[in-house]
Structure 1
Amino acid sequence: MALPLYLVGLSHKTAPVEVRERAALDQAVALPAALRTLGRAVVLSTCNRTEIYGVGSPKEAKALLLARGVEAHHLYQKEGIEALRHLFRVAAGLDSLVMGEAQILGQVREALFLAREHGATESLLEKAFQSAIALGKRARSETGIGAGAVSVAYAALDLALAVYGDLTGLVVAVLGAGEMAELFLTHLKAQGVGRVLVVNRTPERAEALAERFGGEAYPLTALPEVLRQADLVVASAAAPHYLVRPEDLPKRAKPLFLIDIALPRNIHPGVGRLPHAYLYNLDDLERVVERNLKARQGEVPKVEALIEGALGDYLEWYAGHRVREAIRALKGWAHREVARDLPQADPLTQHKEAGRRAHPWILSLKTRTKAFLQGPPCPEDCPLLAFRPRP
């Protein structure tokens, strides 16, 4: 019998950001309301996608997204094995904006937890999402789909680790307090650096960012002092001119590693020609990112092989699941038949007779062989008819 899963959704591939914003379902209000409307469903809602996975008809899921201002051409719809394959590709990072990104796996897990919390899951969805999460973990541990830096901020960290090997105890200075600086500090936090110095033209922003990461805030006028203390400098400030010139760097015995990820650049190219100074800019980092993305692309066939194996495992589980459902239904049907035919018989006799009538059908189901498809004629009200595979 066909797998009764469906998927209706939109993503960065089919809809611009303003449409994705309208489709997004917040966890506090919109998501619980959607799950109440849909009944049995799991909703995966991120900045790059809103997807509804369910069992049965996708009609209500599609209507729900259209009602949020999404147009039909923004949506994709998949059913059965294709819906399941799509979920597995999403969890493995193959359908992400950045190939192999790890965040999506946590979002898939969170979608399942939220559906459980609102009583919206059932056995097929539970198994589908559990299988997707397990597959996502395998893809990252058994292939290189998530290896290497594929963002500028993470590439900056990779370069720092390549130079120093270990960042423990180092003094890191960050010029700027915007999104890129925050992203770099997020990556840096787990590396055990000694001190974080945040320099910004607006002291309040420097203080706010430094407080988040246990660092120290400095105004731009204190930059020379900061450069004397730092081992690693990451520049991402919005400035129309160079903030660091060769003459600004104090003489030093130990090397200084500088990464300029600002545009326009914050650090004069001449700084890289100074003794003990090592300067990298956006072009250097983007080459690292491009190389790593190509390496990830080469891992796609390995991940797809894992996906096909996981699909086979799910379908095998589903076949057994349907057989168990059929056996329960057959037993109930046999008991009702016996109760109708032998109303005066004692419970034990009825139980034995029901077992006798159901036994050949149960054997046929368990073997799942040609005998099941070509078994004896089944009465019109026999529940086995609901489970017989389609020709």
Structure 2
Amino acid sequence: MALVTLGINHRTAPVDLRERIAFTPERMEEAFAELRVASGASEAAILSTCNRTELYLAGDDDCAPMVLRWLAGFHNLDAAELEEAVYVHRDADAVRHVMRVAAGLDSMVLGEPQIFGQLKDAYALARKHGASGSFLSRMFEQTFSVAKRVRTQTAIGENPVSVAYAAVSMAHHIFSDLSRNRALLIGAGKTIELVAQHLSEAGVKDFVVANRTLERAQSLAEAHGGKGIVLSEIPGYLADVDIIISSTASPLPILGKGAVERALKKRKHRPYFMVDIAVPRDIEPEVASLADVYLYTVDDLRHVIEENIRSREGAAREAENLVTDGVQAFLNQLRALDAVSTLKQFRQRAETLRDAETEKALRALRNGSDPETVLRSLARGLTNKLLHEPSVQVRKATTEGRTEVTEWLRELHQLDALEADAATTPEKL
């Protein structure tokens, strides 16, 4: 079974390309339906976050070229443009990559924990759509086990340096005392939950949470003493908030330049701090051109994040060792499964030969043949049938210079031990 991981991330592609290749929840069913047909893979999973889009596929052949063409076509992109940003990992390297992703070792924020949950969600979604079989299931289960060990056995996750934390940290550059500022959070997913938590810890007491569903917005807002609204109500609150942080799965911008301009007129030059964590972007890029607006995207958070990475680099080295052990354990598991399958086939062949020789012997007995003669013939015939093909293959391998086959035969049948026993056994007088 061949394993292929194909994708782009924050290191290989700018945000404008990442947002064009992101999979929206509404198109996931369509994507799964097309992907396996187009690639020929028997199993597939899709991970799509603000920083990466990755496809995990298992099949009999290397399907990377077909997957690349499908991915470009699905998102109406030029395959040549996409090819420049895409990375491909195969087999053991693919396993190592997904384990590093789950452990936060490949994230913009080294060791950030959100990707672990996002990868679990991607696996659950693949299972929901019937796209994940036994191979990917084993890989993901081993991956999650390794990621948990990284979290519990290293200090890689001790310092809060997630994208959400970096966004809140940047707010201090604009506002010295966050307790005086009101925040509008757009979205109600895990990232916005973390943003709300970090803002609350930084002193922000006044929250408005806007979401597509009011119930979810109210639930998150009330946890921090705030107010929940639906997306359509945002314009009515814009003039009264100072901090806007957005992270939704919307395929189109939620906050446009016109709405912000109208709000600015009411604010009398009070600055806005905005962070658009979403891919595709929730806030129109043109908003950044407005006076008194400080708009940042996930790519703009890099310098804040890099300052915090150093504290995790030692733990990352320990984590890399755990990943290496995890990859080896998974490969050993696959080899063991392959051995079981091979041994099963070997036994079935031996039993087929046995049954054929046994039936031949029974026919001879029914026809009145001498039982001793029949028994000796059965033993001789079964021995010849079992040893014929292996003998042919060993002679062929030796002729071709593959002498290791002879060594394996001696090891399999303990021939050296038998010779040693024979040499130490005294002859009978």
- Normalising by structure 2, we get a TM-score of 0.55
Match of 1:4 in 2: 2
User: 2:6 is matched by which residue type in structure 1?
Assistant: V
Once the two structures are TM-superposed, the CA of residue 126 in structure 1 deviates from its matched residue by: 1.9
Once the two structures are TM-superposed, the CA of residue 106 in structure 1 deviates from its matched residue by: 1.6
Distance 1:101 1:39 in 2: 31
Change over 3 Å in CA distance of 1:135–1:288 after alignment to 2: same
Long gaps (5+) in structure 1:
160-171, 203-207, 224-233, 245-259, 267-284, 362-369, 379-391
2:54 counterpart of 1:54: no
Match of 1:320 in 2: 336
Distance 2:228 2:97 in 1: 46
Partner deviation per Cα, 1:250-293 (whole Å, 9 max, x = no partner): xxxxxxxxxx8899889xxxxxxxxxxxxxxxxxx999855432
- After the TM superposition, which of the residue ranges 294-303 and 323-332 deviates more from structure 2? 294-303
Once the two structures are TM-superposed, the CA of residue 305 in structure 1 deviates from its matched residue by: 0.7
Partner deviation per Cα, 1:331-364 (whole Å, 9 max, x = no partner): 2222333344454467xx99xx79x959xx9xxx
Once the two structures are TM-superposed, the CA of residue 195 in structure 1 deviates from its matched residue by: 11
Q: What RMSD in Å do the two structures reach over aligned CA positions?
A: 4.9
Match of 1:300 in 2: 316
User: 1:374 is matched by which residue type in structure 2?
Assistant: W
Question: How does 1:350-369 map onto structure 2 within 5 Å?
Answer: none
User: Percent same amino acid among aligned pairs?
Assistant: 24
Asked if 1 retains the 8 angstrom alpha-carbon contact of 2:3 and 2:56, the reply is no
Partner deviation per Cα, 1:193-244 (whole Å, 9 max, x = no partner): 99953479x9xxxxx9668512248998x98xxxxxxxxxx94267576659
Distance 1:357 1:199 in 2: 77
Distance 1:16 1:330 in 2: 53
Change over 3 Å in CA distance of 1:292–1:55 after alignment to 2: same
Question: How does 1:253-264 map onto structure 2 within 5 Å?
Answer: none
User: 1:197 is matched by which residue type in structure 2?
Assistant: D
| Larger fraction in helix | 2
Change over 3 Å in CA distance of 1:241–1:287 after alignment to 2: farther
Distance 1:122 1:185 in 2: 32
SS of 1:84 mapped into structure 2: helix
Asked if 2 retains the 8 angstrom alpha-carbon contact of 1:154 and 1:184, the reply is no
Match of 1:213 in 2: 221
2:361 counterpart of 1:338: no
Once the two structures are TM-superposed, the CA of residue 303 in structure 1 deviates from its matched residue by: 0.9
Match of 2:33 in 1: 32
Match of 2:13 in 1: 15
Once the two structures are TM-superposed, the CA of residue 313 in structure 1 deviates from its matched residue by: 1.3
Q: What is the number of residues matched between the two proteins? A: 304
Once the two structures are TM-superposed, the CA of residue 148 in structure 1 deviates from its matched residue by: 1.9
Long gaps (5+) in structure 2:
171-178, 211-215, 230-235, 245-259, 276-287, 294-300, 363-374, 391-403, 413-429
Question: How does 1:1-391 map onto structure 2 within 5 Å?
Answer: 4-25=2-23, 26-37=27-38, 38-47=40-49, 48-59=52-63, 60-68=66-74, 69=77, 70-71=79-80, 72-151=83-162, 153-154=164-165, 174-177=181-184, 179=186, 186-188=194-196, 197-198=206-207, 213-214=221-222, 215-216=226-227, 235-236=242-243, 243=270, 290-344=306-360, 374-375=408-409
Distance 1:137 1:14 in 2: 27
- Normalising by structure 1, we get a TM-score of 0.60
SS of 2:143 mapped into structure 1: helix
Once the two structures are TM-superposed, the CA of residue 133 in structure 1 deviates from its matched residue by: 1.0
Change over 3 Å in CA distance of 1:14–1:56 after alignment to 2: farther
Change over 3 Å in CA distance of 1:139–1:338 after alignment to 2: same
